[in-house]
Amino acid sequence: MNAYPITVSERAGIRYLYFSTDWIQGAMRVAQPNVLELAYTREMMAGLLLREPPWPRNALLIGLGAGSLAKFIYHQLPATRIAVVEIEPRVEIVARLHFELPDDPSRLLVRIDDGARFMLENGESYDAILVDGFDKKGRAGVLDTEPFYRACRARLNSDGLLSVNLLGRGQGFIASEERIAAAFDDRVIFFPSCNSGNAIAFARGDAPVELTLAELFRRAEAIRRQTGLDLTPTVQRLQTQGRLVRDRLFF
């Protein structure tokens, strides 16, 4: 694996992680280090809308970055055990030194490994699998292949959800959607793109997701009160951009 520069910079109270000079890999508001600063990371936690507490009992993150998702789950969902697989050991060091990643292996265990290889092993199943792994050029590589998505499906519990950060790259975005849909037999929903160009895909295990618009708004308010995470804009975007059928989310 060729080494690449990892850079940390700070402006206007926000600390950024870069794997190259122009590609943001993570961000943290210094005054609120456990808040999800980037919009796509907030949307990756929208599984909280789709399943009822105490979901998720355990979560697997493929890709650490600045540790934003790991920190949010650790601090706001204290009953959840977290495993992180990160291919680059320097990223873990930077996350601990500069982005306040907790040192608590009893609840948050970081494993330095190839995420695709890890998923193909026989191992633990998870309620939530969150995939957010890119190289310095914004390429997901093997983490955006049908065999990888099938491996994720095999590691989900019955009420499990896979969330994937997809980065809009023209035709490649459409191809990513097709690969996830094929791996999960169309048990998937693709959220509308964020302003950043990211879009989040959710695919499920055996248990269906079926919620009314009113229930989605009620859950969003409960999540905001419990964790500070406001998913109301996500629900509104699902509504206005045609992801609901007769004011109902089903997949």
Catalytic residue among 132, 135, 144, 159: 132
Helices (H), 78-145: 89-98, 115-120
Cα separation, 231 vs 223, in Å, equals 8
Q: Any catalytic annotation for residue 185?
A: no
Three-state DSSP state, 29:
strand
Per the listing, tokens 């998913």 go with: 231
* Cis omega (within 30 of 0) for bond into 56: yes
Per the listing, tokens 């490649």 go with: 172
CB 1, CB 11: distance < 8 Å = no
Sign of the torsion formed by the C-alpha atoms of 10, 169, 156 and 125: negative
Just list the catalytic residues: 132
